[in-house]
Structure 1
Amino acid sequence: MTDVQTRHVPAPQQLENDSKYLAIINEAALPQLQEVRAGNDPDDEPEPISIKEMLVRLDGVFPMDEAVIEALPAGTKFISVERSGTSAWTVTGRIVALETDGSERPYFLKVAYGEHGRIMLNGEWESSKMIYAIMPDFIPIPYGFGRYKIGKPATYFYLSEFVDMDVTTAPDPAEWAARLAAMHKASVSPTGQFGFPVKTCDGKLAHTVDWDASWASFYRKLLLGVCRLDLETNGPWPELERATAQICNVVIPRLLDGLQTPDGEPIKPCIIHGDLWEGNMGIHMETGDSILFDAGSYFAHNEMELGHWRCEFSSVFRAKVYTRHYLRNYPAAEPVDEFDDRNRLYSLKGAINYSAGHPGTPLRKTAYNNMCYLCDKYAPIDGIDKYDPMIDPSITGARIVPHLAEGLI
């Protein structure tokens, strides 16, 4: 496997492929740059504020604001707030409010800062509302999203039901898969296309979710968006860039154009969680049902949801029993014999996204190795490495503890 630092003089075919990569990566950058320019807020600080830095500034005091109190259900009275739980990208807390019947009720509050915080929490608000409308027992009740009335820094919040949940026990594969598949099946895209009405996030990074009638076209833009962010974070890697261009220009159309259901119908856009690993779900302590949280949704091919389960940051859902149970509830698209290759293709987005948000992570090399596999099978080119099964986590079982190296949780 060629190291990231290795450089050599490329052949003419490689130069042509490199120029294609630069063209498509610039194509992915344009809408993102336009949105950032349009969303600039005079109260934002020059650089994004890390949660670790903000916690130091807060010095143990939870940031509360009148805007949150106004978002509580009508008739309730705010009593108190305290920090609750841990989050890599937000400050999280537990509000206690007095209900109209005199009982106390807890609410969950997330706070984030700047334009990134606005995009992230507004995306979670809109995602949660859609999922709640489909399956109200599958996600905490969303109550509100808004901006604090204080000035700098621009501060945003998301308010939801506080659910006491077990986040350490693995869910029952049959129950979990059936509920997830039910959400996918019941969802209906408001436009009939793939995408989402607002920008959403996977971790701290925004998805490219502009509406598109073609799943292959949508996924290409989604993947290019995270590849551009990874390039900015981790620097150039010519072999990865050549493989990315081949994946986007040849492999994606080959594997994703014309997908059909087992009944011969075109695949439908399904709402997906968007960042679904075991760290974003739990078991409701009162009902015993599995439940989602931290959604960053968009309408996608339903199998896209399972791509995260192939990545190193997923431990529980890497067990094949979860995928087997899911496919019993929502059968694989045709051609069925290409399901695993599609799953490998879909895992690229999660791995590259994680790499873009966590410099130096091994997931960048994993994604490149998976690209080499797919290129070798469907669109061989010179200038990239051979796939190496000895560094494929789906074979070796290699895992990481998400966010541990950065001290975020």
Structure 2
Amino acid sequence: MTSPTALDGAILAALPAGGQVLSVKRHGKTNWSTGFRIDVVIDGEKHEYFVKIVAQKEYVGMSEAEYEGQSALATYIPDNTVAPVAWGFFDRDTSKSFFLTHFRHLSEDTPSASDILAIVKKLHLSSASPTGKFGFHVTTFYGPPPMINDWTDNWEEYFTRQFRANLVYAQQERGEDPELQDLADEFIRKIIPRLLRPLQTGGRNIKPTLCHGDLWDGNIQIDVKTKQPILFDSCCFYGHNEMDLQCMGDPRYALGMDFISRYKDEIGASEPRQDFYDRHALYAIRNNICTAGMWPQWAPLLTTAKEEMRRLLSKYPDGFDGFKEEVVCSC
């Protein structure tokens, strides 16, 4: 689709009234969506838009998800997001959908760790769930896998149901793995409660924070005009802020564990603080399982996930029953 006349009527209706479409050019593609730049003249002035088209019926909800997620992010970090314009279903075929935003000229250079940290800090400290619960008001997508965003007061419940669903997805894509499933069953029974239940017991609690949900260097680029880092391709939910770091610690990402430690030092770790790095490992396991399911070349990450699960099971063999409150000397 490179001709203005090829644009679906729903997309044309979402553009400003009275505008003339000059050109439609391909701009980016994933396995589940295709992007186009649309140049429009309005009252003699040129404007640029970006539309992402989801043409596979099973992923049609992605457009609404991105619209709602980016809208939520723009509430707290308006200078650092791709602010949405519209979303909708095609007039000609409601099994297809689109997400429309203003086009930004982005540099692929990764912003500095300090700049990213400042934005993430602002997002995590200033945002709050509209319901006071964990979840989101629409289904969002971590690539193809949907997030189970039903509202809940319990973070352990939210994460556990997502972890289970991601295990199913990975094995649907890469084949059944009895070793992985047996290991994961014990992991779910012992390690998830051990690392997440203390966040909301013993007088402790955590605030449901707006998370970008897929925060890694590939989804953060620099606006050539404003010089500001821009966060895009979100998978938003209100959750434990530390889960937003799930993609950042592994060596395959640009930021690495130094960024994780800087986050801990500047923004702080949830109590119990001594579990911070193991909670990060838990969230990273979930990311590795999803990534292995999405991309065949990353299938070996399932082995990495198994190794990490074994490590944590060895460290916490008694699960939550082995949790001991940290004793602080008042002398």
Equivalent position SS for 2:198: coil
AA matched with 2:317: A
Q: How many residues end up aligned between the 2 structures? A: 316
Alignment-derived partner of residue 163 in structure 1: 104
Structure 1 residue runs of 4 or more that deviate by more than 3 Å after TM superposition: 60-63, 73-77
Pick the aligned partner of 1:304 from 213, 220, 243: 243
Paired residue for 1:154?
95
Q: 1:289 aligns with which of 228, 231, 253?
A: 228
Q: Which secondary structure does the structure 2 equivalent of 1:247 belong to?
A: helix
Alignment of 1:174-253 (within 5 A): 174-253=114-193
126, 132, 137: which one pairs with 2:79?
A: 137
27, 31, 54: which one pairs with 1:84?
27
**Identity value in percent:** 31
Deviation string for 1:139-167 (max 9, x for gaps)?
1120000011113x721100011111112
Matched AA of 2:241: N
Pairing of 1:7-406 with structure 2 (within 5 A): 64-100=7-43, 102-151=44-93, 154-167=95-108, 169-259=109-199, 266-311=205-250, 314-318=252-256, 320-359=257-296, 361-379=299-317
Measure how far apart 1:255 and its partner are. 0.7
What is the distance in 2 between the residues matched to 1:76 and 1:330?
Answer: 45
Structure 1, unaligned runs of 5 or more: 1-57, 382-409
**More off after superposition, 102-111 vs 82-91:** 82-91
Name the TM-score, length of structure 1 as normaliser: 0.73
What displacement does 1:76 show?
3.6
> Counterparts of 2:60 and 2:266 in 1: how far apart (Å)?
36
When normalised by structure 2's length, the TM-score is 0.89
CA shift for structure 1 position 207: 1.5
Once the two structures are TM-superposed, the CA of residue 90 in structure 1 deviates from its matched residue by: 1.0
SS in 2 for 1:108: strand
Name the CA distance, whole Å, in 2 between partners of 1:233 and 1:141: 33
Contact 2:18 2:42 (C-alpha < 8 Å) held by counterparts: yes
Aligned residues of 1:178 and 1:326 also touching (Cα < 8 A): no
- SS of the counterpart of 1:143? strand
Q: Deviations over 1:96-130 (max 9, x none)?
A: 11234x21010111001233332212111110111
1:74 offset after TM fit, Å?
4.4
Post-superposition CA distance 1:289-332 (Å, at most 9, x none): 111011111111000011111346x42022x3322332343201
> What one-letter code is carried by the residue in structure 2 that aligns with 1:70?
A
Residues 222-261 of structure 1, C-alpha deviations (whole Å, 9 max, x = no match): 111110111222222222112211221221111111317x
Residues 194, 214 of structure 1: 8 Å contact kept: yes
> SS of the counterpart of 2:247?
helix
- SS of 2:282's equivalent in the other structure is helix
Report the CA distance between 1:376 and its aligned residue: 1.1
Q: Over residues 179-219 of structure 1, what are the superposed CA-to-partner deviations in whole Å (9 max), with x where a residue is unaligned?
A: 11111111111111111111111112211221111111110
Task: Provide Cα deviations, 1:13-52, integer angstroms capped at 9, x if missing partner.
Answer: xxxxxxxxxxxxxxxxxxxxxxxxxxxxxxxxxxxxxxxx
Please say if residues 95 and 109 of structure 1, whose CA atoms lie closer than 8 Å, have aligned partners that are also in contact: yes
What residue identity is the alignment partner of 2:42?
A: E
Query: 1:247–1:371: 8 Å Cα contact kept in structure 2?
Result: yes
Q: Distance in 2 between matches of 1:352 and 1:271?
A: 23
The AA in structure 2 aligned to 1:180 is: V
- CA displacement at 1:61 relative to structure 2: 6.4
Aligned to 1:55: none
CA distance in 1, matches of 2:208, 2:80: 19
- Shift of the 287–380 alpha-carbon distance from structure 1 to 2, 3 Å rule, reads same
1:75 is displaced (CA, Å) by 4.7
Contact 2:160 2:188 in 1 (8 A): yes
2:3 and 2:24 in contact (8 A); partners too: no
Contact 1:243/1:375, CA 8 A, preserved across alignment = no
Decide whether the 8 Å contact of 1:216 with 1:253 is kept in 2.
yes
CA–CA distance in structure 1, aligned partners of residues 3 and 15 of structure 2: 21
